[in-house]
Amino acid sequence: MDKLADTKVKKQNPEHSTIIAEKNTHIGEGYFTVIAGPCALENEEIALQTARAVESAGAEIFRSSLFKPRTSPYTYQGYGFEGIEILKKIKKETSLLIESEILTTEQLENIGDELDIIRIGSRNMDNYELLKEVGKTNKPILLKRNMSATLEEFLLAAEYILSVGNENVILCERGIRTFESYTRNTLDILAVPALKELTHLPVIVDPSHSTGKASLVPSASKAALAAGADGLIIEVHPNPEKAFSDGEQSLDLDSFEKLMKELYELAKVVGKKTSKPVLA
Ligand code: PEP
Ligand code: MN
């Protein structure tokens, strides 16, 4: 890791953390923050129902991709630009902040300003031109680790964003490719403390894409919190069986609420703060 010695990701300023002051949501700095919502935006009714449920369960940020990078070009590609109106409605009608994935600079130009957090998905972790463009914004950037990236490659991708002036990068471990096929990916749980050793940036975990199975999401989530993660990004859908994408790894509303209660208990044990009052 020598090459990172003089870089901005290095723990030069332990005080620094990503803070989204709006609506009093914090990411990093000892807080535990949950981003939750469907894999993809499907329609207004499902989005609003999910948003209200995840908000009351304790999530602070709504996830819902408007554009989907899909392995097959024949599967659902996302709702598209018009979906931003639905996300804006969610922001108005709930206390949630909104985040979504950006795949291209065109999408960034069109809707970047409307989002509270911009996600760069694992397939774009090494799209250096896109990284530089989001680096020119002042938005928090949730950067997902590429499924085959070493931690050094991951941090150098973060460096592309930081080096052009945007210091608000949130790292996301989302599982890596291994020989194991029972899970969709292999959650590299030690990436959490390792990244914390190497950098001051907040680190969150995606228990949905790392496992690929709703049954394993609670264990992965608790392991992540116990390992020191600053938060989670979790896929939730009111009716996972009917979801347009990733239903098999999405929690239904009741399972999400149950998990949040357990996580809030664990957060107290591991000494993490929550911006929202801890649920009863
Ligand atoms: C996602 O979070 O919507 C996603 C596609 O995950 P990843 O980029 O980690 O594959
Ligand atoms: Mn998904």
* Minimal-distance CA residue to ligand 1 atom 4: 121
Return the ligand number nearest the Cα of 184: 1
144, 172 Cβ separation under 8 angstroms: yes
For the CA of 124, the nearest atom of ligand 1: 8
- Is the C-beta atom of 184 inside 6 A of ligand 1? no
- 265: Cα separation from own chain's centroid: 21
- 12 CA distance to ligand 2 centroid (A)? 34
Q: Per-residue confidence of the chain (280 residues) as pLDDT tens digits?
A: 556 667 788 766 655 677 887 878 999 989 999 999 999 999 999 999 999 999 999 999 999 899 999 999 999 999 999 999 999 999 999 999 999 999 999 999 999 999 999 999 999 999 999 999 999 999 999 999 999 999 999 999 999 999 999 999 999 999 999 999 999 999 999 999 999 999 999 999 999 999 999 999 999 999 999 999 999 999 999 999 999 999 999 999 999 999 999 999 999 999 999 877 655 4
Contacts 24+ apart (CB under 8 A), 180-186: 183/210, 183/211, 183/212, 183/213, 183/216, 184/209, 184/210, 184/211, 184/212, 184/213, 184/249, 185/147, 185/209, 185/210, 185/211, 185/212, 186/210
| pTM of the predicted model as reported, rounded to 2 decimal places | 0.96
Mutate to test the pocket of ligand 1, among 77, 102, 144 (most ligand atoms within 8 A of CB): 144
40, 68 Cβ separation under 8 angstroms: yes
Return the ligand number nearest the Cα of 214: 2
86 three-class SS: helix
